């Protein structure tokens, strides 16, 4: 196996007949294991001199992967031979733009800055590199410990040729939404974050039905109980439901979403089904479906168009049709959506192979329901309240609940820290206000005392807890569903009988659950968060509190004739 590199030593993990993985990035090299005589999975060390071919040898120690800024090969890509035509626009947020490789299961995330700074970049290449590295460190060393390493893909920083970045910027510009073009892609630093493309799982084989990937941004799953909350409505109506009124009033969305995060985080399958059904009906920024890496279902901000459920059914039918339901298309449409939601609920409740306990109602019966939710809690027929402790939703919720004070109680502590930094500017480093995000940072927020002793260190720890909680409130979940293997083209009578028998059974999926969008929230953004909170509550007090509330019935339970779809945990 020949690997071009500038210099350095790193570890390859070789998987027989499949690929070689470099620090979590896949190399397409089937010959690697055969050359090394590896049985199934083994590690080797590659030592490279400048512009040389790596020489593979068994490792002296099983040390973790490390790399310098100058490596050329990452994730099967030779960085000095990058071609912008191999990449396509994938999406973007407020601070970064993402492109995906057309063949490899990889994405590049590049920084953005205001268009007025396009001629004068706001930071040096070294600063851009440190900014992206801090994102990696925050994800891998802080959020990974809190959310669970099995759910996290932190990625790695790469240095790209500047000409490639400039050509890529030109290539994707016409694909960007017009309302996002107030910011431009960073074409000066050449720094990017390389990550696995979670919408196109690497385990997928081209001959199989394309994988389905569902992205959910669940938002905050609990009601605040802090004594610092000044408006009683905040303890009764969740932040998301109040925020919907504010967004519609300001024209961001034409219609309110009826999704309520407290239903999704309840652990009750009826309520979770109800929540996901409303995400499908009004996805906004909180729900997307990808098929084979292509987005097939999402909302456009500000659009007045209703979602095309028939188009979604067209995509979903091949994954969920079985038995006699192939005949009746009307029944099929309803059953397909129910099966799809049921599979999604089961994946969200799964611990990925573990047998954890159940986290019961966190704050008492009254605080587990949002008054704005249209779910009628009197209609709950069965099922326990609470999440399995090792499920992705439980880990996210527990991290969100590090916000024990609410923004109203946190802001005075922020002011205490801010005043201290004005008096002693050099303390910003010791207090790790801007990182580094390491074990010491994690220990600061984990060992925060329960009572305020009036110290700056206490205030800093609570601010760190709040920032981590805000990241968890704004993260996304990616559920990858990979259908079971297809039948062989040539089959004997026995194989045909088996295929016919299996076609009458519920479909089976390999699945994986990941958490993404785990950037650190800036310390200086806390005053803005307080102002936004005040606007949202004020708007809801004027408009939402007076809106009539009509309870919708919960979804019917799955038909007795339709068994549960099978889920097989498989890390992607």
- Do 529 and 423 share a domain, yes or no? no
Query: Do 338 and 555 form a contact (C-beta atoms < 8 A)?
Result: yes
H, E, C per residue of 457-515 = HHHHHHHHHHHHHHHHHCCEEEEEEEECCCCCCCCCHHHHHHHHHHHCCCCEEEEEEEE
Instruction: Provide mean pLDDT across the span 293-308.
Output: 78
pLDDT at residue 563 tops 70: no
pLDDT at 69: 35
Q: Which residue has the higher pLDDT, 379 or 387?
A: 387
SS3 label, residue 382: coil
Is residue 204 a part of any domain in this protein? no
pLDDT at 494: 58
pLDDT at 505: 58
What's CA 534's distance to the chain center, in Å?
28
- Do 452 and 515 share a domain, yes or no? no
- Do 288 and 417 share a domain, yes or no? no
- Do 346 and 238 share a domain, yes or no? yes
> pLDDT tens digits for 397-455?
999 999 999 999 999 999 999 999 999 999 999 999 999 999 999 999 999 998 999 99
Is residue 483 a part of any domain in this protein? yes
What percent of the chain has pLDDT above 70? 70
β-strands 8-15, 41-48: how paired? antiparallel
Q: How many CB atoms lie within 10 A of CB 314?
A: 12
Q: Is-above-0.85 flag for pTM?
A: no
Q: Looking at residue 154, which CATH number applies to its domain? A: 3.30.200.110
Which of 78, 96, 113 terminates a domain? The answer is: 78
Is residue 206 a part of any domain in this protein? no
Confidence of residue 214 (pLDDT cuts 50, 70, 90): very high
Question: What is the DSSP track for 22-63?
Answer: ETTEEE--THHHHHHT-SSEEEEEEEE-TTEEPEEE--SS-P
Q: Is the preceding omega at residue 436 within 30 degrees of 0, hence cis?
A: yes
H, E, C per residue of 171-235 = HHHCCCCHHHCCEEECCCCCEEEEEECCCCCCCCCCCCCCCEEEEECCCCCCCCCCCCCCCHHHH
* C-alpha to C-alpha distance for 515 and 236, rounded to whole angstroms: 28
Is residue 401 a part of any domain in this protein? no
- Do 176 and 240 share a domain, yes or no? no
Which of 78, 96, 116 terminates a domain? The answer is: 78
Is residue 167 a part of any domain in this protein? yes
- What sign has the CA pseudo-torsion 481, 149, 351, 393? negative
Instruction: Provide mean pLDDT across the span 458-485.
Output: 94
Instruction: Provide mean pLDDT across the span 336-361.
Output: 75
- Do 262 and 381 share a domain, yes or no? yes
- Do 278 and 381 share a domain, yes or no? yes
* C-alpha to C-alpha distance for 305 and 282, rounded to whole angstroms: 10
* Average pLDDT value for the chain: 79
Instruction: Provide mean pLDDT across the span 154-172.
Output: 95
Instruction: Provide mean pLDDT across the span 99-109.
Output: 94
pLDDT at residue 111 tops 90: yes
- Do 263 and 293 share a domain, yes or no? yes
| Angle at 70 (CA atoms; ends 56, 172), nearest 5 degrees | 115
Query: Do 430 and 388 form a contact (C-beta atoms < 8 A)?
Result: no
- Do 65 and 97 share a domain, yes or no? no
pLDDT at residue 486 tops 70: no
pLDDT at 310: 87
pLDDT at residue 244 tops 80: yes
Is residue 400 a part of any domain in this protein? no
Is residue 399 a part of any domain in this protein? no
Which of 456, 472, 488 terminates a domain? The answer is: 472
- Do 346 and 430 share a domain, yes or no? no
Q: Which residue has the higher pLDDT, 203 or 393?
A: 393
- Per-residue burial over 451-473, b if 16 or more Cβ lie within 10 Å, else e, is eeeeebebbbbbbbbbbbbbbbb
> pLDDT tens digits for 146-157?
999 999 999 999
pLDDT at 70: 38
- Do 375 and 418 share a domain, yes or no? no
pLDDT at 566: 61
- Do 480 and 346 share a domain, yes or no? yes
What's CA 113's distance to the chain center, in Å?
23
Which domain range does residue 411 map to?
406-472
pLDDT at residue 201 tops 90: no
Is residue 398 a part of any domain in this protein? no
> pLDDT tens digits for 21-60?
333 333 333 333 322 333 333 333 333 333 333 333 333 3
Instruction: Give how many domains the chain has, as a whole number.
Output: 4
> pLDDT tens digits for 508-525?
788 899 999 999 999 999
SS3 label, residue 430: helix
Query: Do 357 and 388 form a contact (C-beta atoms < 8 A)?
Result: yes
């Amino acid at each position: 196996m020949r690997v071009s590199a500038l210099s350095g030593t790193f570890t390859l993990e070789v998987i027989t007949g499949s690929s070689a993985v470099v620090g979590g990035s896949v190399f397409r090299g089937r010959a690697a294991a055969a050359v090394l005589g590896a049985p199934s999975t083994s590690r080797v060390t590659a030592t490279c001199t400048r512009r040389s071919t790596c020489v593979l040898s068994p490792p002296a120690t099983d040390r973790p992967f490390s790399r310098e800024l100058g490596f050329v090969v990452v994730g099967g890509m030779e960085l000095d031979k990058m071609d912008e035509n191999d990449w396509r626009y994938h999406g973007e947020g407020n601070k970064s733009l993402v492109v995906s490789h057309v063949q490899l299961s990889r994405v590049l995330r590049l920084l953005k800055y205001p268009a007025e700074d396009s001629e004068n970049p706001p930071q040096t290449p070294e600063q851009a590199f440190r900014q992206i590295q801090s994102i990696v460190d925050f994800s891998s060393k802080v959020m990974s410990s809190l959310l669970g390493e099995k759910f996290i893909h932190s990625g790695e920083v790469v240095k790209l040729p500047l000409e490639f970045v400039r050509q890529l910027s030109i290539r994707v510009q016409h694909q960007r939404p017009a309302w996002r073009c107030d910011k431009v892609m960073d074409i000066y630093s050449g720094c990017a974050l390389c990550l696995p493309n979670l919408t196109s799982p690497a385990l997928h084989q081209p001959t199989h039905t394309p994988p389905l990937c569902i992205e959910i941004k669940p938002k905050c799953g609990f009601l605040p109980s802090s004594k610092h909350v000044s408006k009683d409505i905040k303890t009764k109506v969740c932040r998301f439901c109040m925020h919907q009124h504010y967004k519609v009033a300001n024209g961001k969305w034409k219609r309110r979403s009826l999704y309520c995060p407290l239903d999704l985080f309840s652990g009750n399958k009826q309520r979770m089904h109800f929540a996901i059904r409303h995400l499908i009906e009004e996805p906004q920024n909180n729900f997307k479906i990808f098929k084979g890496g292509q987005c097939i279902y999402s909302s456009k901000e500000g659009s007045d168009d209703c979602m095309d459920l028939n188009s979604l059914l067209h995509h979903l039918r091949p994954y969920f049709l079985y038995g006699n339901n192939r005949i009746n298309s009307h029944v099929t449409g309803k059953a397909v959506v129910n099966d799809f939601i049921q599979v999604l609920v089961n994946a969200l409740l799964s611990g990925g192979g573990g047998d954890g306990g159940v986290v019961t109602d966190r704050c008492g019966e009254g605080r587990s329901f949002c008054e704005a939710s249209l779910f009628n809690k009197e209609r709950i027929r069965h099922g326990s309240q609470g999440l399995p402790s090792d499920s992705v939703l439980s880990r996210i919720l527990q991290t969100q609940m590090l916000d024990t004070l609410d923004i109203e109680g946190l802001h005075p502590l922020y002011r205490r820290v801010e005043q201290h930094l004005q008096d002693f500017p050099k303390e910003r480093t010791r207090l790790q206000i801007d990182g580094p995000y390491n074990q010491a940072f994690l220990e600061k927020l984990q060992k925060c005392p329960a009572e305020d002793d009036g110290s700056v260190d206490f205030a800093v720890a609570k601010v760190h807890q709040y920032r981590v909680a805000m990241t968890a409130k704004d993260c996304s979940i990616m559920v990858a569903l990979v259908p079971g293997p297809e039948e062989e083209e040539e089959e004997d009578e026995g194989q045909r009988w088996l295929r016919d028998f299996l076609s009458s059974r519920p479909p089976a999926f390999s699945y994986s659950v990941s958490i993404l969008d785990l950037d650190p929230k800036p310390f200086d953004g806390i005053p803005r968060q307080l102002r936004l909170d005040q606007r949202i509550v004020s708007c809801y007090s004027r408009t939402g509190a007076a809106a009539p509330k009509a309870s919708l019935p919960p979804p019917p339970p799955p038909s007795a004739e339709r068994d549960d779809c099978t889920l097989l945990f498989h890390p992607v």
